[in-house]
Structure 1
Amino acid sequence: MIENSRRTLRAPHLQAPWTLFWVGFLVRVVYITVAHTYRVPAYADHFKFGYEMGRVARALVTGAGYADPFNGHTGPTAWVPPAYPLLIAGAFKLFGVYSLFAGWALLVFNSLFNAAAARWVYEIAARCFHRKVAVWSGWIWALYPAVMEYATRWVWETAISTALFTFVLLLALRMRRVGEPVDEGQEHRAATLGQWLFFGLIWGIIALSNSTMLLFLPVCGLWILMGSKPLSQTILKAVAAGVLCMAVITPWIVRNWQAFHAFVPMRSNFGAELYAGNGPGSMGFRYGALIGLPEQEPQHKLYKQLGEIEYVRKRGQLAKEYIAAHPGHFAQLSLERFDFFWASVPHPTDKHWFLDFIRQLDYCLPSITGVLGLLLALKRRVPAAGLFAWAFVLLPFTYYFVTVEARFRHPLEPLIVILSVYLFQSAERRRASTAAAAQA
């Protein structure tokens, strides 16, 4: 959120209006308050209030430590990364466990980041394309209802992780000076040490919020290095950024070693997710918790008996054996997950067919226009188009083979918005040029 004043003065066309943030933020807060989205149903002991993260937060404020992601006391956990559960725990400590005001405060905090991303979307578009694309992209992000869903209705990390990823993309563009006036002989001026350290800090926070995004970190760092000279000095700055990133992550790794006597770098649930997504009777994605909430449920009992690490290891082994014995099933589910990520959403049985059609169109159409906009940007050699392409490849990659939900696409949606606007603006300009040529 820190603006570089010297560069802003040199490139005033990159300044996003603060109106984008304030209008977007106020709209979200009003919606949360008027629609009562903070009133989470008490069903299943408030499980929809943060799901596993809410359970961990409750354990933290009641003295059980970072533990108990499901019902009852099941012991220490690394089922979810710590950033958002700690935030929920702070809200619980201030306003009460599962209280209405805690829910309101958390959704407002989500909305703060979600609305802030509108300014970052604007600047990314301004740096890579032109002001008209930036204005449309920024206001779509600020006001489009589908963009607001994960900020205003979900007590979960999705909105904040998306905002952090958007900001780190913008930071990469600033470090490469994309879209800025360039002084003669300064085309490859290296990013400053402060920028590299900030880059490492943000990635450390992202790792503790949504570790799946770390697949993109090496590509993002290398992309910045490739545009920096002298390379020898820049590498030292990049190493410093890596050290800071590891310093942010290390306390979590140390805690996991002490709790489990095992190396758990980010989260522990991969084997259980792999089994749920690919084991017997699987459909490629899941609903609800992986471990049955009732304490008498067999998997809940087994989880508590074995402990989290051993339970996940056994489930992962079963998943690998089943995949090896049924490779065709695994391939089919992976293709279905690919389709789900980009083009489809589950079909609710209680909705009219027309409403379901609108939901499908609202989800699928932005994927199509975003990908077409990306292809056009690559064809025209737009600055950073290659970096955006890697984001489209790497962010969903793990989900194709494990499990998928509609919210997993959200971190890519700022880019989808920008590239969709670019596609339509390019078509409009081409029509205008054709009409002018015809008149001539």
Structure 2
Amino acid sequence: MNTSEHPFAMPPGHAHEDKDTSALYAKVTWRLIPLLFLCYVAAYLDRVNVGFAKLQMLQELHFSETVYGIGAGIFFIGYFVFEVPSNIILHKVGARLWIARVMITWAVISACMMFVTTPTVFYVLRFLLGVAEAGLFPGVILYLTYWYPAERRGKIVAMFMTGIPVSGVLGGPLSGWILHAMSGFGGYSGWQWLFLLEAIPSLVLGIVIILKLDRGIEQAKWLTPDEKRILARNVAADAEGSHAGSFRDGMTRPIVWGLSAIYLFFIMGLYGVGFWLPTLIKGSGVTDPLSIGLLTTLPYAAAAIAMVLVGRSSDARRERRWHVTVPGLIGTVGWFVTVSAGSHNIPLAMIGLTVATIGVMTTLCQFWCLPTAVLAGAAAATGIAVVNSVGNLAGFISPYVIGWIIDKTHSTDLGVYTLAACLAIGGLLVLLMPKRLVNR
């Protein structure tokens, strides 16, 4: 295969890269991204499968929509509290041990969700799940900066983050099938089997991480000395344009908090998709759990394709801000179409959901080109974690607010309008970022 045609080669716009360098980065990508991608698929599946469990769980346990919203969102309180410490530990002990620890502990806690009987138990386990998972996503984003310079991260981050839509493509039908087929088997409900069976991949991958993931370039035995030198040189040269300060710098720089605010608005839109997509599809008139699961694959599959294409365009043009803003505005339009169609026009509602999902997912993956362009070293370890943890507080706010709105209005319309507004605000705020800082 010609290097320029390789799926992991650089976009044509990077003419200054020779074929050997592109082939080297393709080699690195084949080694790292599939494993990290699978980890994120499993992580996101364990995080949001509560959205499918809800279809049976609420009625069986007599939980209100507000109880569900609090339980779905309290995950992010534990996530917020332990995010920065977790990333500092990863920076010090290495990705291999810490990511494995994260995955194994959250697999065990996720499986224990099958034993929920009261709101209190529901809240406690969701909180502990957030504590266990804290550090995975920002840890991987930080880990990728050890291997790739900023100009290559648009597509690489997009490839990693397609784990979110792919977890929807795979998890939707799987979750629907488990609810449909396993209900009553062995005396357990379908939602209980859902939590147990979907925890197994995380446990297995945690063990694989210990065996396969390298701490950094120097520890990679599959690279030659010359290849290590090239990779290390490129990363070092890239870091010269970033703020490689202390752990404290990553927590105190104003730009970090500005990025945190923007990310919070984007996450509002993300968890509208993750936690409420099955409910929105059900509200459009589809009632069978398996059918709902199959329909969720359409928006997620389209989003996975769009994420990689936009990431490639972002790298090729060395432009970041508009590659974040435009998808955000497109996602906003998608949410409005979804509400306008309602249950009287299911095909149009699905088109709206698909466009919204494309916009949300693409915006999020391109956003992560911004903090990694301005932070490096210890400052990146804390700065990336701060942005992610503050932004993910929206994971608590979003499901709680939407659950409360549904209980009060018996309609999802106002909640979806809120998500749309947040997505648009976040996209427009990105344009306030100095172009010279982030277009790398």
More helix, by proportion: 2
Is the radius of gyration larger for structure 1 or structure 2?
A: 1
TM above 0.5, yes or no, is: no
TM-score by length of 2: 0.26
